[in-house]
């Protein structure tokens, strides 16, 4: 069920993107011929003014159909604003979503950037190294450590400050690297026990069980600080995604990029469903991350994406005349072929990773 929930979230994010284009077009009085939820033959539709609204069976997305003649009559800044509106909608949605999360209270590290003080911190597993003893035992990111013990010794968290428990677990695991250790965990309110033993090759220079720990609590903020924190965290995520994309493109030009590093729809659904399983906080985080990612991807100047359309508008502004419709159509088709080919290759790697 978590996979279905996550697919529904992806659909919503695509709708948000298309709604941005729709709202901007209506604002600038550009004719909108169609606004459709889904693809395929129409299930239900109605017409309001000059726009036909429809629902179609393949609801994995949607689209807005603008009247090209009406759009061409507007200035190029207005055309660019309509194109950018989809990107802006995803950015705005992520900001509001994160802000609502902090208003209610989101899991955060004790040592965090931004505003507010984290309360009720507990040692939490932030990440599990693939192929590590921890992963093989069944330990998952998000598990809360309630205790850790060997046959002869255990940690009593009551003797540690609440913001030092993760370090205490780390030190205990390091000190008992040659012994089997029992991790007592809390997973969504359910107690779990796993036996792990540190191994070589997980990290450089020492044996390790393969977990990244941090003291995680709840960060709950008043409205004004929640809005600021949502904007700050959203910007941090967007910046990290942009840097990762830039690094990949740089390596691609150098011939050293590995397409296997990317994740397509299958990989995104697989990872996203794990976030959904963590509860509403995981839903907020992964939805915001993907919304920001959709905004970033659409900035790329490839025909078929919003960035490609912006590139056409910029070229027309420089040339002071429209691009040949035949050339624009050809470049757009080529862009779609490139994107579909990349998606197929990435999906192949996604499937290969899933089946091991």
Q: What tens digit of pLDDT does each residue of 234-265 get?
A: 999 999 888 887 887 777 677 766 655 555 55
Q: Measured between alpha carbons, how far is 66 from 76 in angstroms, rounded to an integer? A: 15
What residues have CB less than 8 Å from 354, skipping those under 6 apart?
Answer: 266, 267, 270
Write the CB contacts of 69 (distance below 8 Å, at least 6 apart in sequence).
none
222 versus 255: which is more confidently predicted?
Answer: 222
**What is the arithmetic mean of pLDDT over 291-314?**
88
Least trusted range by pLDDT, from 3-7, 33-37, 193-197, 236-240: 3-7
Distances (CA, A) of 252 to 60, 246, 352: 30, 10, 22
Consecutive H or E run containing 115: none
Q: Which residue has the higher pLDDT, 196 or 161?
A: 196
Length of the chain: 356
Calculate the alpha carbon distances from 83 to 53, 76, 341 in Å. Answer: 20, 11, 24
Q: And the tokens for 233? A: 């965290």
Structure-token pair, residue 126: 């932030």
Residue 356: count of CB within 10 angstroms of its CB = 4
Running DSSP on this structure, what letter comes out for residue 203?
Answer: E
pTM more than 0.85:
no
How would residue 350 be classed by pLDDT, with cut points 50, 70 and 90? very low
């Amino acid at each position: 069920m978590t996979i279905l929930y996550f697919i529904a979230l992806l659909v919503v994010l695509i709708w948000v993107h298309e709604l941005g284009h729709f709202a901007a077009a209506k604002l600038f009085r550009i004719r909108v011929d169609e606004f459709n939820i889904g693809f395929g033959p129409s299930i239900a539709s109605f017409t309001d003014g000059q726009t036909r609204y429809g629902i179609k069976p393949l609801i994995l997305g949607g689209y807005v159909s603008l009247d090209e003649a009406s759009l061409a009559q507007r200035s190029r800044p207005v055309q660019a604003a309509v194109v950018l509106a989809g990107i802006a909608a995803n950015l705005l949605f992520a900001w509001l979503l994160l802000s609502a999360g902090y208003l209610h209270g989101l899991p955060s590290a004790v040592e965090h950037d931004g505003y507010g003080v984290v309360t009720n911190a507990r040692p939490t597993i932030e990440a599990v190294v693939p192929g590590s003893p921890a992963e093989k035992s069944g330990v998952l990111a998000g598990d809360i450590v309630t205790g850790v013990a060997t046959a002869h010794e255990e940690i009593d968290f009551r003797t540690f400050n609440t913001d030092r428990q993760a370090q205490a677990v780390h030190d205990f695991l390091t000190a008992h690297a040659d012994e089997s250790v029992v991790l007592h965990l809390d997973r969504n309110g359910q107690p779990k026990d796993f036996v792990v033993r540190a191994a070589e090759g997980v990290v450089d220079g020492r044996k390790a069980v393969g977990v990244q720990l941090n003291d995680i609590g709840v960060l709950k903020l008043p409205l004004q600080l929640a809005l600021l924190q949502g904007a700050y965290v959203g910007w941090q995520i967007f910046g990290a995604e942009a840097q990762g994309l830039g690094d990949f493109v740089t390596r691609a030009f150098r011939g050293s990029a590995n397409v296997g590093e990317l994740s397509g729809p299958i990989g995104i659904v697989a990872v996203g469903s794990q976030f959904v399983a963590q509860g509403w906080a995981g839903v907020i985080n992964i939805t915001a991350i993907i919304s920001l990612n959709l905004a970033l991807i659409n900035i790329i100047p490839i025909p078929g994406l919003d960035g490609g359309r912006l590139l056409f508008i910029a070229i027309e502004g420089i040339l002071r005349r429209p691009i040949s419709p035949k050339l624009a159509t050809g470049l757009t088709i080529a862009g779609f072929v490139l994107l579909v080919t990349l998606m197929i290759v990435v999906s192949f790697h996604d499937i290969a990773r899933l089946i091991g």
